[in-house]
Structure 1
Amino acid sequence: MSNPAYSLRQLAYFVAVAEAGTLAGASATLHVSASALSLALDELERALDAQLTVRRRAHGIRLTPAGQETLRRARRLLREADELADAAGGDPGEVAGTVRVGCYTTLAPGILPATIGRFTARHPRARVEFVEGSQDVLQRGLLDGELDVAVLYDHRLDPVLELTPLSSNTPHLVLPRDHRLVHGSAPVALADLVDEPMVLLDLPPSSEHALGVCLAAGLSPRIRYRTSNAETARALVGQGLGFTVLAQAEPGGRDEVAAVPIAEDPSPLPIVMGWSGHVAPTATARAFADAARSA
């Protein structure tokens, strides 16, 4: 097997430039001169015999299609190199290195802390870096190689993703606690809210799913407010400004609202762990997925 004509340093410089969008931005991040970065990019392109970037003065760096594919693979190689270096200092078979995890924003409080706790207790030499975001952002992170794994709702996901089930959430209705329809934990029919406005959690796929639940129950909601923050949605409901439909577990500490079952009995929304089907997950990523499944 011949040695590669490129170096890990060249790949790291290329990834930094691609993520910064400019040589100057990557230079500031890496504390390396822009000329050294430019030279490394030239050498990498010669080694791979491919044009990876289009460099335009005052317009930054644009990746070619070959550059986009190389970026995804370079991120993977650099992560595996880090994992190899970390594992070399431990016992054989010990999980080490960094796993980059994405989590859908509203699922993060109920899933991430406990999963990270289990994972780090089992694998003390491993590290977790996580981001929270919408499904579109997380899917793009998986496909671009920025994330190793992500926790998502199984709703209109890219078919290239590999998925493993974790659990599910059943949508519920959030109303002011003193609302006329709130009677303990008795279910409430969405059709009975036809004259009331809706506060929509405008964070796909939650927004699409909540509207679908309403329409399936025969309710075409009149949306008064939109927010990408579930707690803001609950707070607006608490002020009597409408109702909302949420899927994530109800946190404590907001006495002015009540979470009640929906009489029309909507289907649960599955929660899954996903990773790119183009790249096998690292040992650290697989160990994190095991920790998530053992909840």
Structure 2
Amino acid sequence: MSFKYSLKQLRYLVTTIECGSISEASRRLNISNPAISSAIKDLESRFNLQIFIRHKSNGLILTPEGSSFFERAISLLRDAREFEQQVNGDSDKVSGEIVLACYDPIASCYLPELLASFKERFPAVKISLHVVHQNKIAEGLRSGAYDLALTYSAGLRETHTCIPLLPDLYPRAVLPAGHRLASYNEVSLSMIADEPLILLDIWPSNQYFLGQFEDAGLHPNIAYKVPSIELVTAFVGQGLGVSIMVTLPEQIQTPNGNKVVTLPISDPLVASRTVVAWNRDKDLTRLTSEFVNHCKNEIKLPRHMRPLQ
């Protein structure tokens, strides 16, 4: 029996599963909903299997057969990318596609300038970008869904190769501008432990920040858990609490006009390490090697996060 299908169909399917819905996949791929639906139905028909159970309320749920098909589709797409990268690597022109993941909280600090400068050097290279949380990065590197990732080392596994891109960074206290401690040169964790804490509630950042207090024998007073750096600073600026963060926004004035200040923390702290990572079982191609080297050369600590001289 002959099965005729295309890599494009598999890409539509994989993106739909990653996004959780056809409509979200349509936005990411800039392809119409009917085109994606048609591709998935064609795959189901050709392979005589049901990939999804479709529920109006719960969206698309993978069947066991669909889950196995998904893993094989990722593997085939990864092999196709590597084949293309290796063939293109034999020529003088650097081209091909890199599937890049980036940990959500650090994306705005580093991605815009990095991708713009890489595109200037290698205009024929396509970067397929996924800004996601750390658990998806670890799984995506393992499965081959992502070629490379820009992220923190925390939460990665021994099966990942990591190259540090920046000096080790440490959390700073984030306080409303009018807070009683805002005029201090530095604060200790014990000085803010009883204050209402605004926690960046994204794994592994949440675990990392709470671990700083636990290592000091303290139990923070968590007031709010929020999913973004922007919300942390907005809540702090509104006087709803204090926070600790590593990746600091350039604008210390929140969107509603409130100001926050950041202060060093005097306690011994666990460092945060920004890395470029990939699956240890996979050798870098010429293309991915060029991107890793570009990251090493181009990613710098933003000016607003550099220590004062």
TM-score (norm 1): 0.80
Measure, in 2, the Cα distance between the counterparts of 1:56 and 1:163: 35
Measure, in 2, the Cα distance between the counterparts of 1:294 and 1:135: 24
1:60-71 matched pairs, under 5 angstroms: 62=63, 64=65, 67-71=69-73
Q: Cα 1:245–1:56, aligned 2, differ >3 Å: closer, same or farther?
A: closer
Structure 1 alignment gaps of length 5 or more? 43-52
2:136 partner SS: helix
**Number of paired residues?**
274
Which shifted more, 32-41 or 110-119?
32-41
1:135-174 matched pairs, under 5 angstroms: 135-167=134-166, 168-174=168-174
Q: RMSD of the alignment, in Å?
A: 3.1
The equivalent position to 2:266 in structure 1, one of 263, 266, 279, is: 263
2:165 partner SS: strand
Q: Residue by residue, what CA displacement relative to the aligned partner does 1:253-295 show, whole Å, maximum 9, x if unpaired?
A: 4161001100114232111111123333443222211111113
- Corresponding residue of 1:49: none
- Corresponding residue of 1:131: 130
Q: Cα 1:217–1:144, aligned 2, differ >3 Å: closer, same or farther?
A: same
- Corresponding residue of 1:222: 221
Amino acid at match of 2:296: R
Measure, in 1, the Cα distance between the counterparts of 2:227 and 2:157: 22
Q: Is the 8 A contact 1:55 1:62 kept in 2?
A: yes
Measure, in 1, the Cα distance between the counterparts of 2:224 and 2:206: 12
Amino acid at match of 1:71: A
Measure, in 2, the Cα distance between the counterparts of 1:121 and 1:181: 46
The equivalent position to 2:47 in structure 1, one of 41, 48, 54, is: 41
Amino acid at match of 2:75: R
- Corresponding residue of 2:277: 274
Q: Cα 1:121–1:208, aligned 2, differ >3 Å: closer, same or farther?
A: same
Q: Is the 8 A contact 1:154 1:269 kept in 2?
A: yes
Measure, in 2, the Cα distance between the counterparts of 1:235 and 1:31: 40
Amino acid at match of 2:183: H
- Corresponding residue of 1:205: 204
Measure, in 2, the Cα distance between the counterparts of 1:149 and 1:156: 15
Q: Cα 1:195–1:20, aligned 2, differ >3 Å: closer, same or farther?
A: closer
Matched, 1:74 2:76: yes
Amino acid at match of 2:289: R
Q: Residue by residue, what CA displacement relative to the aligned partner does 1:9-66 show, whole Å, maximum 9, x if unpaired?
A: 4454345345546xxx699335857774345436xxxxxxxxxx65578687635475
Structure 2 alignment gaps of length 5 or more? 26-32, 56-60, 299-309
Q: Is the 8 A contact 1:154 1:272 kept in 2?
A: yes
Measure, in 1, the Cα distance between the counterparts of 2:132 and 2:39: 33
Q: Is the 8 A contact 1:13 1:40 kept in 2?
A: no
1:83-122 matched pairs, under 5 angstroms: 83=85, 87=88, 92-122=91-121
- Corresponding residue of 1:191: 190
Matched, 1:13 2:9: yes
Measure, in 1, the Cα distance between the counterparts of 2:128 and 2:204: 24
Q: Cα 1:36–1:55, aligned 2, differ >3 Å: closer, same or farther?
A: closer
Measure, in 2, the Cα distance between the counterparts of 1:127 and 1:55: 29
Q: Residue by residue, what CA displacement relative to the aligned partner does 1:45-94 show, whole Å, maximum 9, x if unpaired?
A: xxxxxxxx655786876354753542232111332455478x49xx9232
Matched, 1:179 2:179: yes
Measure, in 1, the Cα distance between the counterparts of 2:11 and 2:104: 26
- Corresponding residue of 1:45: none
Larger radius of gyration: 1
1:231 positional shift: 1.1
Q: Is the 8 A contact 2:209 2:244 kept in 1?
A: yes
Q: Cα 1:182–1:276, aligned 2, differ >3 Å: closer, same or farther?
A: same
**How much identity, in percent, do the aligned residues show?**
25
